[in-house]
Structure 1
Amino acid sequence: MPAGLVISAPASGVGKTTLTLALARAWRNRGLNVQCFKSGPDYIDPAFHAAATGRASVNVDSWAMDRGTIAHLVGRGTDADVVLAEGSMGLFDGVAARGVSGTGATADIAEMLGWPVLLVIDPSGQAQTAAAIAAGLRDYRAGVRLAGVVLNRVASPRHEDLVRRALNDAGIAVFGALPRHAEISLPKRHLGLVQAEEQAEIGKLIDEAARFVAEHVDLDAVLRAAASCSPQPAPNGMNVTPPGQRIALARDAAFSFIYPHMLEAWRAAGAEISTFSPLADEAPDASADVCWLPGGYPELHAGTIAANARFRSGLRAFADTRPVHGECGGYMVLGTALTDADGVRHEMTGLLGLETSFAKRRMHLGYRLAALAAPMPGHQVGARLRGHEFHYSTIVAQPDTPLAVVHDATGAIIAETGSRRGQATGTFFHLIAEDR
């Protein structure tokens, strides 16, 4: 197994993604094969990883996945020279109740795989205190090893010197310090980063980040700090049942949030996937036996979706005889109507009675455990599905038969039950794994 590092930080917004992409591209420019992973349920970052490395990236998640599944997914990096696992939120941030193999914290993955942690520290508004924070993270949990620190957004050489001295006194290696550099900032929107495929200049941005980081960070020292592991994969891989043999998958700027490992697992199980674009007014492939609408940004394209008669009529015709399932944004489009952030109500496909609104934004965020009360494509009544929900829509009406009894990570029952009507089903959560 190649050497690996976990890229983490004390909190979100410190620069984990930028550093991960920069290191990956800089090492790739040196001729190394780099494999990235994303710890946690973020479905946007893996596409950035792929843009930086030329290799597909997948999520690993200790709340939703068992150790064997995580090892199976990490096994894709066997032929790489170095592996980078980008964390989410802060190093130890997870949910209160343990899931399948952990709480969803990045530290779970670091300990499980034996990879040391490279911390990104933003010392803005502080100096020596940054060393206290790093030392606290180093010492908080036995089994999680700290490789060292990269400082980000240092204000001046004097500022850098103060922080470096304090870190050195604490016995923490400093691999580099990055001054503020707006040219490598990744654009954001309400669900996170603007998707990689929506950024025509993403390659140039990653190249500039790699150049900048190579100028300020000791890449050789960081590489030497990585450690190898040989996790034992699950004997039956992902244990995922595809929703059908031939899957028509909506895929465009409005429908793009689906975990890469799910698509790979479907294909590995023998399923064929054909894509279509609702925004281009395309209907699902008539030869498919199931249609799947992922989440995404339908609220940004609601007018176009409402006006695309070929898509809407084609989807309704498909649902007369075959299953259609929607996740989050896809679920909203299967509903009766969607009200956008400006208060304009747009008619959706009407396969379900769900009506949602973005006019009064309210964040819904967290892991979900669903016990199916009705079947959905690929899963029977009683199946226990693990997923993650992240959206800002409000339910105006959800009149159809509930699809599942859904709990959050604390065990509390939530109102977002999903729905079923005829051949159509939908959930607000994005499926990550099924309990074995």
Structure 2
Amino acid sequence: MNGVVLGGTRSGVGKTVATLAVVHALQRDGATVQPAKAGPDFVDPSHHAQVAERPSRTLDAWLQGDDGLRRNYHRGDGDVCVVEGVMGLYDGDCSSTAAVASALDLPVVLVVDAKAGMESVAATALGFRRYAEHAGAGEDVDVAGVLAQRAHGGRHEAGIRDALPDDLAYLGRIPPLESLEIPDRHLGLHMGDESPLDGDALDDAAEHVRVDRIRDLARAPPRPDAEPPAGASTAPTDATVAVARDDAFRFAYPATIERLRERATVEPFAPTAGDDLPACDAVYLPGGYPELHADALAASPALDQLAAAAADGRPVLGECGGLMALSRSLATTDGDVHEMAGVLPADVRMCDRYQALDHVELRARDRTLTADVGETRRGHEFHYSTADVDDDARFAFDVDRGTGIHDQQDGLTEYRTLGTYCHLHADSGAFDAFLDHL
């Protein structure tokens, strides 16, 4: 499957809208498009899925390693893959867009904000192409073309196109339309099914994308050098894993759900809709927005059932929002306090600004649900909450990189329940370890 990477000059330049326009343009040209996202984001991929009508692949060298990144890319299905970058092209000390493009040997389409520039767009693009060699970021970062964001037609477009050197392709423009803006909140943009782009505006944007030139640039990445690490469990089990999937629990990587389904029966349930906890051998609570649905979550019968399942010794894994739901209480920024499941000895408070945002590395103190003693797990944390824990609280992990829950510790544990601020990807091995506990 051939692919291209859409890299931005900075955060906020309009990469998501540009990606959706390119996906839609390729679809109108008859292509089956596989979307993907560089970095650990959960929100932008929801917009990709809304337009492409298939899950977006997560591509992050820190979470997956180069081989895991390539494996995840090649699990995709389509004629062409469009990878949205993260932040600016070279930003990120352990998994930048440039690093992803280099590992996959994919060309980069640079998204440049052209709202107040013409020839300077070409100068910017030329500087981004040369920077890799200057900074030692790798001569194999191939900035091959430019997509002008917020650019008008006529003289504006011509000024941009004509200023580009012959070896930097002009790949079209995204018009400056208010209907092409996606609202945001504390963890990023609204989810794709909450605020989808206006269909007519997306059609208009797609009209101005040079699909023929994008398809000419796209190429296929190398296959991974190795299969999953030796010793990783692959055998199916007879287990059933209940997975929370609703407005409060939205942050699960597609590869994680795929991995669980490969080895177990997955039973989704929606706590905020009043679902009971299904009959199961274990429970996975992904991250999400429990703070936005705290009333419905507090009233859910599933919380009491979770508490009973945990006390009975069933494995329960909660990540970020899942950790919040497993705690005693959740206090929102308006001062309301909501009773949660009460499994973990912590009280969670929402804050007005983010409390942690980083790639993380955890080291297991003892054998726990997602790792054996001494093993490391790489993941990601991004949260606006903080947890006040009891003095005798027990933690499963020391945090070698990142913030964690308390005093460079993560993995609050009680019974066989584990709650972390860290989000893990299937290629970390964490979910195979989780299934091996069943």
Q: How high is the TM-score relative to the length of structure 1?
A: 0.88
Q: Tell me the equivalent position of 1:149.
A: 146
Q: Deviation at 1:357?
A: 1.0
Partner of 1:84 in structure 2?
82
Matched, 1:173 2:169: yes
Evaluate the alpha carbon distance shift between residue 23 and residue 209 of structure 1 in structure 2; reply closer, same or farther with a 3 A threshold: farther
Partner of 2:29: 30
SS at match of 2:410: coil
Which residue does 1:6 correspond to in 2? 5
Inter-partner Cα distance in structure 2 for 1:56 and 1:360 = 31
- In 2, Cα distance between equivalents of 1:305 and 1:166: 55
SS in 1 for 2:150: strand
Match of 1:247 among 241, 245, 251: 241
Alignment of 1:118 with 2:109, yes or no, is yes
2:105/2:222 contact within 8 Å kept: no
Query: Can you list the C-alpha shifts for 1:355-400, whole angstroms capped at 9, x where unaligned?
Result: 1211453331001111122443343333311110001112333541
Aligned ranges 1:202-351 → 2 under 5 Å: 202=196, 205=197, 207-232=199-224, 234-236=226-228, 239=232, 245-268=239-262, 270-286=263-279, 288-308=280-300, 310-321=301-312, 322-351=314-343
State how many pairs are aligned.
418
Question: Closer, same or farther in 2 for the Cα pair 1:84/1:232, shift >3 Å?
Answer: same
For 1:225 and 1:35, locate their aligned partners in 2 and report how far apart those are by CA, in whole Å: 16
Aligned residue runs from structure 1 range 13-92, under 5 A: 13-77=12-76, 80-92=78-90
Do structure 1's residue 385 and structure 2's residue 377 form an aligned pair?
yes
Give secondary structure in 2 for the equivalent of 1:292: strand
Q: Deviations over 1:74-93 (max 9, x none)?
A: 2124x622111111111111
- Give runs of ≥4 in structure 1 deviating > 6 Å: 240-244
Q: CA RMSD in A?
A: 2.6
Task: State whether residues 60 and 95 of structure 2, in contact with CA within 8 Å, keep that contact through their aligned partners in structure 1.
Answer: yes
| CA distance, structure 1, for counterparts of residue 403 and residue 287 of structure 2 | 24
Corresponding position of 2:417: 424
Indicate the residue corresponding to 2:435 in structure 1.
none
The 1-side partners of 2:366 and 2:248 are apart by 27
The 1:145–1:428 alpha-carbon spacing in structure 2 relative to 1, beyond 3 Å, is same
Structure 1 distance, partners of 2:264, 2:365, is: 25
CA distance in 2, matches of 1:72, 1:362: 32
| Counterpart contact for 2:272–2:297, Cα < 8 Å | yes
Name the SS for the 1:371 alignment partner.
strand
Most deviating of 182-191 and 385-394: 182-191
What is the CA–CA distance in structure 2 between the aligned matches of 1:403 and 1:409, rounded to whole Å? 15
Q: Distance in 2 between matches of 1:329 and 1:50?
A: 22
CA contact (8 A) 1:4 1:84 kept: yes
Change (3 A) 1:92 1:418: same
Equivalent pairs: percent with the same residue? 38
Please name the residue that 1:98 is paired with: none
Distance (whole Å) between structure 1 residues aligned to residue 415 and residue 403 of structure 2: 32
Q: Indicate the SS of the match to 2:51.
A: helix
2:64 aligns to what SS in structure 1? Answer: coil
- What is the one-letter code of the residue matched to 2:42? Y
- In 2, distance between residues paired with 1:82 and 1:191? 29
Q: Note the C-alpha offset of 1:409.
A: 6.2
Q: Is the 8 A contact 2:110 2:147 kept in 1?
A: yes
TM-score, normalised to structure 2's length? Answer: 0.88
User: Equivalent residue for 1:100?
Assistant: none
| Aligned counterparts of 1:405 and 1:222: Cα–Cα separation in 2 | 45
Q: Is the 8 A contact 1:240 1:265 kept in 2?
A: no
2:22–2:209 CA contact under 8 A, matched in 1: no
